[in-house]
Structure 1
Amino acid sequence: MYEKNALNNFKDVLGKYCAINQFVELSKRCFWVEHQNEIQKRDTFVKLATEYAVTLTNYDADSMVCEICRSYIVNVHLCFETFLKDVCRQINKYGKNEYKPRIQEESYLSCAVRNICGNNLSDDMKPLYELCEYYRLIRNTSVHDLCEVDSHEKEYRKLQKYNFKTEAKFSKLVAPNKYEEISFDDFVMFSRSCVELATYIFEKMAYDYTKIALDIPDKQISKWRKYSKNRQEKALCSYIKTLYKVDEEFIEQIPKLLNMIIDPIV
């Protein structure tokens, strides 16, 4: 059976990470309620940890809560950047237009948008783009800036020009927040923004279906040669739809593509 296209794979993987984040958040809230008194003092906190055979290296509960929330951002960014790298790889290999490689210090989001949309994002996508770039910087600080923390105040202030509360998907969230105040709501906002932006990027991708067809494994084509013409068309369509995407341009090219790979002129 075929695998999945970049967007569906991203949604599946992100869903698994979101489930983990949600479980951790539930555990954190339950722990905070049940052990609030014990975690206020180091000696009682140590005793509690010892009861569960856990040795903690940090007994600052407030600090750990903040770090947990920022770890949610790290997890979402991992999924989103993997999707963006996959998209960049595909348009480099199978894109209709010339691919311009990522330049130094450029984010994968910027590279993907530059190559796919020509930096012509629709107005409703611009806030999501800047939001995802902000959370990328939050992730970078969380992972890399161990000595001197860059809270990205400038980028945070830029987001204030947008009223995210007007969007139904964000209306109940208290976010975005500053680096020191990142919360579970930021995770929800980031994950929802990534899905919407990834869907937009994927739908804008322009494939050169000839390049894709010529790269289909011989083993797969050998199976199709045994099919009737009608079944060959359905098989090719299913293959492209599963791994990439199908549009009107592809539908029009099906006869030509089949002739090229099934009965190539030697």
Structure 2
Amino acid sequence: MIQKAFYNKFKQDLGSSDAINEYIEVLLRQFESYTSDESSFQSIASRYGIRVNDVSPQVAICKIREYYIVSVYQVFEEFLNQMHAFLKEYGVYKENKDSSTSMLKHIHVNLVGMKKTSENAYLYYLICDYYRLIRNLCAHTDNINKAQNVYQKLFERKDEINVLFQKLQAPNRYDNINFDDFILYSRASKKLAEIYISNIEYDIDKIITNFDIGHLRVYRNNPKRLSKALETEIKFSFCMKPETVKMVVDMIVKMI
């Protein structure tokens, strides 16, 4: 299925990105376990002919962990853009997005709705939106107040977060992001992506209009063969109820 394909790609790409971050974290912790004072760090750097004296090791390590958030954002944002394109082509969807609205919010409103209740979907959304804002702060494209406001909402629901994501000391304030924040963001984005995929509502007219039927015209004189071929392709491409598949097949057959 098309939507399953890019969902699986999202998980695969995120897994690869996460693995690199985990590898870096091991190296950082190894370094921290030995020493993190300025003179020792400069001694290590000089051993490799590298001059690093603009920031302290502590500040550099904090920034590296912020970049974990950036890496998750990039992979998740690509998934959201693919979802946006897919819904425009095949879904019941408000296509026009206001430039001031994030892709995350636009997709969420369309597929799930902004239900500010105990439902997990909204909590996953808040988590992902918070780290989206953290990413923006890393890129100097947003203000701290936005992140603080979302952080406060998450702080008020910390017990729920602890139930869903046990053993994580996160979320943390924007100025104290650590490895657990990265893990929380990665896991929440996967949960949210799964919810989005399961909430797709197809626009039958769009599917009929955009479905490639050219290669099936060879079966136009064999209605049974044509219907069977169409049914197979539609089932492979879209997650639809059997009665909906039959309706789509019948409508396309009439067009050929």
Change (3 A) 1:233 1:57: farther
Aligned equivalents of 1:12, 1:110: Cα separation in 2: 23
User: In the alignment, does 2:197 pair up with 1:202?
Assistant: yes
Tell me which residue corresponds to 2:138: 142
Cα deviation 1:186-231 (Å, max 9, x = unaligned): 0111111111111112211111244234424466546888994545
Tell me which residue corresponds to 2:42: 46
Q: CA deviation at 1:164?
A: 4.0
Q: TM-score, normalised by structure 1?
A: 0.80
Aligned equivalents of 2:92, 2:161: Cα separation in 1: 37
Q: Contact 1:138 / 1:151 at 8 angstroms: preserved in 2? A: no
Identity %: 27
1:15 is paired with a residue whose SS is helix
Aligned equivalents of 1:222, 1:53: Cα separation in 2: 67
User: In the alignment, does 2:66 pair up with 1:79?
Assistant: no
Moved more, 109-118 or 180-189: 109-118
Tell me which residue corresponds to 2:188: 193
Tell me which residue corresponds to 1:246: 240
The one-letter code sitting in structure 2 at the alignment partner of 1:78 is Q
Q: Contact 2:4 / 2:197 at 8 angstroms: preserved in 1? A: no
Q: CA deviation at 1:152?
A: 2.9
Q: Contact 2:208 / 2:248 at 8 angstroms: preserved in 1? A: no
Q: CA deviation at 1:253?
A: 2.8
1:144 is paired with a residue whose SS is coil
The one-letter code sitting in structure 1 at the alignment partner of 2:41 is F
Change (3 A) 1:248 1:197: farther
Runs of 5+ in structure 1 lacking a partner?
A: none
Cα deviation 1:158-194 (Å, max 9, x = unaligned): 2121034565441200010001111110011111111
Tell me which residue corresponds to 2:58: 62
Change (3 A) 1:174 1:16: same
Within a 5 Å distance, the mapping from 1:21-170 to structure 2 comes to 21-33=21-33, 35-36=34-35, 39-42=36-39, 44-56=40-52, 58-97=54-93, 99-120=94-115, 123-144=119-140, 152-164=147-159, 167-170=162-165
Aligned equivalents of 1:252, 1:41: Cα separation in 2: 70
Change (3 A) 1:166 1:94: closer
Runs of 5+ in structure 2 lacking a partner?
A: none
Say what the alpha-carbon RMSD is for the aligned residues.
Answer: 3.2
Cα deviation 1:111-160 (Å, max 9, x = unaligned): 112222343477222222111111111110011259x8668323212212
2:120 is paired with a residue whose SS is coil
Q: TM-score, normalised by structure 2?
A: 0.82
Change (3 A) 1:248 1:116: farther
Change (3 A) 1:166 1:50: closer
Tell me which residue corresponds to 1:236: 234
Q: Contact 1:102 / 1:111 at 8 angstroms: preserved in 2? A: yes
Tell me which residue corresponds to 1:19: 19
The one-letter code sitting in structure 2 at the alignment partner of 1:252 is K
Aligned equivalents of 1:100, 1:211: Cα separation in 2: 13
